[in-house]
């Protein structure tokens, strides 16, 4: 069994030398990238391993300046980077402008954090001793990046890995490699050879060799649970450091005191950003039964006002999905829910006015329950499934009734409800009244089947450092507790 593929079936193995990159808004070929092999991966590992012996000894101030230089180069190429992101991934330009800001600022953030500390000094057991905790880089880190945020999620891994002193090999998704290759060429060119490199290809042909390579001690991956489980099974015999963020099925609870118009806007943003193709997308909505009709009507009105189209067009609110197979999964979830009694209130179709592209109407669906796929499995599309609750305790229980625990949202001005929510809901990130907002200094990651990795903040840096305890005794005389015991 090999790593599952994300490429469209019709183009997945069409050429032994290259991979076509498709514009999801037009279905046109944007360009081709090399279909690299295990041999290419092995060569990059050898270079990265050699470079590690130099990079880990490079002063933190020097590493800091080189990372700031990378961010500065990105800003010089801002327009082209955003254009490539929009064409190959599909989401609207404003969303890619936000991704670009996260890309550059993450490199600047970790450039400074990387020279802030290397560990700590502990109180020693004896006056003649020194005890220290030292944080050290692992070595070569393989960073396997998904297609939905190809540069943001690259930065969240690569920047802390470099700041910690590791070298990195970036494996972008075969669906969105163009922006990553552009940055490799124009923004990482000042790093010493082997410190940062990028490889393109399919999972089983280049990512799996990296996972299995004995000289790659760290595997950082964002993607599906199935692929994460496969990576874990491959890496377990070698006891590698795994950094896995494996998706979610995030809940959004609307409390009775919330304003319906505000709730509609918050829900639409949380569920439909990037056409719902976000690991922290709202995929389960819980409304109070007493006001469900009012909230639902406001939501439908707002969703119906959204404009679909290519992300490159300035009037677009929501762009296409990344490919036909992903859209087919959304259709499957909706159809299964309808067969079990759910009702589509708006959307639920492929728009007729957009003849090309992998578009799907934003969909509000009600009368759902937890027996349905749309409330259990990650849909990863523009759907807003609504379920009613009778008490806030019931809403909390429903939010926790899920194998994933990446994030959860609450809209309420009631501090008691907010406190109960943040303490009782088992999720790595809790958003109250401001969904899907991240913080460079705040750790991002999940619980349960969402994986235990943390990105951003101090925790994100420590993911790429291993801990060493140093016990140093300055008095070299023999100790009274040494052998023989009889004296």
Once rounded to an integer, what is the mean pLDDT over residues 126-150? 98
* Residue 10 within a domain: no
Same domain, 227 and 355: no
* Residue 60 within a domain: yes
Is 143 one of the annotated active-site residues of the chain?
no
Catalytic residue among 64, 143, 187, 279: 279
* Residue 479 within a domain: no
DSSP helix/strand/coil, 72: helix
Same domain, 425 and 466: no
Q: Burial code of 382-396, b = ≥16 C-beta within 10 A, e = fewer?
A: bbbbbbbbeebeebb
CB count within 10 Å of CB 168 equals 28
Q: Tell me the pTM.
A: 0.96
Q: Do 463 and 454 touch, CB atoms closer than 8 A? A: yes
Strands (DSSP E) contained in 232-370 are 241-245, 250-254, 282-288, 343-346, 363-366
* Residue 413 within a domain: yes
pLDDT, tens digit (0-9, with 9 covering 90-100), for 32-71: 999 999 999 999 999 999 999 999 999 999 999 999 999 9
pLDDT, tens digit (0-9, with 9 covering 90-100), for 163-176: 999 999 999 999 99
Between 2 and 139, the higher pLDDT residue: 139
pLDDT, tens digit (0-9, with 9 covering 90-100), for 115-137: 999 999 999 999 999 999 999 99
What is the band of 426 on the pLDDT scale with cuts at 50, 70, 90? Answer: very high
Between 6 and 120, the higher pLDDT residue: 120
Q: Residue 473: is its pLDDT beyond 80?
A: yes
* Residue 465 within a domain: yes
Once rounded to an integer, what is the mean pLDDT over residues 457-473? 98
Q: Alpha-carbon distance 460 to 277, whole Å?
A: 23
CA 88, 92, 97, 102 torsion: positive or negative? negative
Q: Residue 4: is its pLDDT beyond 60?
A: no
Q: Alpha-carbon distance 232 to 226, whole Å?
A: 10
Q: Burial code of 244-276, b = ≥16 C-beta within 10 A, e = fewer?
A: bbbbbbbbbbbbeebebeebbebbbebbbbbbb
Once rounded to an integer, what is the mean pLDDT over residues 304-310? 98
* Residue 444 within a domain: no
pLDDT for position 214: 98
Same domain, 263 and 371: yes
Same domain, 223 and 279: no
pLDDT, tens digit (0-9, with 9 covering 90-100), for 248-289: 999 999 999 999 999 999 999 999 999 999 999 999 999 999
Once rounded to an integer, what is the mean pLDDT over residues 230-234? 98
| 64: CATH | 3.40.605.10
pLDDT for position 5: 44
DSSP 123: P
* Residue 190 within a domain: yes
Same domain, 149 and 298: no
Q: Residue 431: is its pLDDT beyond 50?
A: yes
Q: How many structural domains comprise the chain? A: 2
CA distances from 298 to 248, 260, 267, 274, 342 (A): 26, 6, 11, 21, 19
Same domain, 218 and 272: no
| 336: CATH | 3.40.309.10
pLDDT for position 16: 86
CA 478, 482, 483, 487 torsion: positive or negative? positive
What is the band of 1 on the pLDDT scale with cuts at 50, 70, 90? Answer: very low
Same domain, 148 and 238: yes
Strands (DSSP E) contained in 199-281 are 218-222, 241-245, 250-254
- Which domain, by its residues, includes 233? 18-246+451-470
Contacts of residue 381, defined as CB under 8 A and 6 or more positions apart, other chains included, come to 275, 276, 277, 321, 326, 327, 329, 330, 333, 360
Same domain, 325 and 291: yes
Same domain, 188 and 257: no
Same domain, 162 and 310: no
Q: Alpha-carbon distance 153 to 245, whole Å?
A: 10
* Residue 480 within a domain: no
Catalytic residue among 245, 283, 455, 463: 245
Same domain, 272 and 206: no
């Amino acid at each position: 069994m090999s790593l599952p593929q994300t490429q469209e079936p019709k183009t997945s193995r069409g050429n032994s030398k290259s991979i076509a990159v498709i514009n999801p808004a037009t279905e046109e070929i944007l360009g081709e990238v090399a279909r690299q092999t295990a041999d290419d991966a092995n060569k990059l590992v050898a270079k990265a391993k050699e470079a590690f012996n130099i990079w880990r000894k490079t002063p933190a101030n020097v590493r800091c300046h080189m990372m700031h230089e990378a961010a500065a180069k990105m800003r010089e190429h801002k327009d082209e980077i955003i254009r490539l992101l929009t064409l190959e991934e599909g989401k609207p330009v404003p969303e890619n402008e936000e991704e670009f800001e996260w890309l550059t600022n993450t490199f600047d953030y970790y450039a400074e954090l990387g020279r802030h500390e290397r560990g700590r000094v502990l109180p020693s057991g004896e006056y003649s001793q020194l005890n220290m905790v030292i944080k050290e880089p692992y070595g070569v880190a393989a960073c396997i990046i998904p297609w939905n945020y190809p540069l943001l999620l690259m930065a969240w891994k690569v920047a802390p890995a470099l700041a910690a002193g590791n070298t990195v090999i970036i494996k972008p998704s075969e669906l969105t490699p163009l922006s990553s290759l552009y940055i490799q060429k124009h923004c990482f060119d000042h790093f010493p050879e082997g410190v940062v490199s990028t490889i393109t290809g399919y999972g089983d042909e280049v990512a799996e060799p990296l996972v299995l390579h004995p000289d790659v001690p760290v595997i950082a991956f964002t993607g599906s649970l199935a692929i994460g489980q496969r990576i874990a099974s491959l890496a377990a015999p070698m006891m590698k450091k795994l950094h896995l963020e494996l998706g979610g099925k995030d809940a959004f609870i609307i409390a009775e005191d919330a304003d319906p118009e505000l709730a509609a806007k918050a829900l639409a943003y949380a569920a439909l950003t990037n056409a719902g193709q976000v690991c922290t997308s709202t995929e389960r909505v819980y409304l109070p039964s007493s006001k469900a009709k009012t909230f639902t009507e406001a939501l439908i009105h707002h969703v119906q006002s959204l404009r679909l189209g290519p992300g490159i067009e300035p009037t677009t609110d929501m762009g296409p999905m990344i490919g036909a197979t992903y859209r087919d999964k959304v259709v499957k979830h909706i159809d299964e829910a309808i067969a079990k009694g759910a009702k589509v209130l708006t959307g639920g179709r492929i728009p007729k006015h957009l003849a090309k592209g992998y578009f799907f109407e934003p969909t509000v669906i009600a009368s759902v329950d937890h027996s349905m796929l749309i409330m259990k499995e990650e849909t990863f599309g523009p759907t807003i499934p609504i379920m009613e609750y009778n008490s806030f305790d019931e809403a909390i229980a429903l939010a926790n009734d899920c194998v994933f625990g990446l994030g959860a949202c609450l809209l309420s001005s009631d501090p008691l409800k907010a406190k109960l929510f943040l303490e009782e809901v088992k999720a790595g990130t809790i958003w109250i009244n401001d969904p899907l907002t991240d913080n460079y200094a705040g750790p991002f990651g999940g619980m349960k089947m969402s994986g235990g990795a943390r990105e951003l903040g101090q925790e994100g840096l420590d993911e790429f450092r291993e801990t060493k305890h140093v016990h140093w005794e300055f008095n070299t005389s023999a100790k009274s507790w040494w052998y023989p015991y009889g004296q």
